[in-house]
Amino acid sequence: MLTFPQFPFTANEARIHDLLVSTLQVAVPLWIERWRHASPRRRCDRAIECADMVAAHGDAILYRTKGRARRLRDETDEGAPGTAEAFNHLAEGIALGAFQPGGITMFGHHWEVPA
C-alpha cells in the first residue's frame, strides 16, 4: 500500500507544496482549454505520454534543472528534460485527468471539467 506525507509538512516541504500548487492552479486551467475540443482518444493517448514523462523525470520538478531546451514539439533530443518541461507535463497530465468522470485530485486540490 502506498502512503503519502500527511499535513503538517516540514517547513521546506510546505514551501515546495505551496509553490507547486499555486503554479498548478494557473497552469492546469490553461491546459484544460488547450485540450477542450480534442477527442477523448487523443486526450487519453497524450495523458499516457505525460505520465511516462513525469514518472521518468518527476525529480526535475522538485530539484531545479535546466535540462534541454526544446523549441519545437517534434524536435528530438536525448538529454534529460529540465524543470519547466517536466512541470508542464505534470500540469498537462492533471488537466487531461480533469476530463475524466469525477476529475482528478492532486496535492489536495481538485480539478474537474463538467461533461
DSSP assigned state of 107 = T
Distance CA 86, CA 40 (A): 23
Which residues, at least 6 apart from 24, have a Cβ–Cβ distance to it below 8 Å?
90, 91, 94, 106, 107, 109
pLDDT of the residue at 51: 96
Beta carbons of 108 and 94 less than 8 angstroms apart: no
Beta carbons of 70 and 89 less than 8 angstroms apart: no
What are 59-98's pLDDT values in tens digits? 888 888 876 655 545 555 567 788 899 999 999 999 999 9
End-to-end CA separation in angstroms for the chain = 32
Distance CA 17, CA 75 (A): 32
Distance CA 16, CA 29 (A): 20
What residue segments make up the domains of the chain, in order of their start?
12-105
Prediction pTM value: 0.80
**Residue 2's pLDDT band (cuts 50, 70, 90):** very low
For cell 471539467, the residue is 113
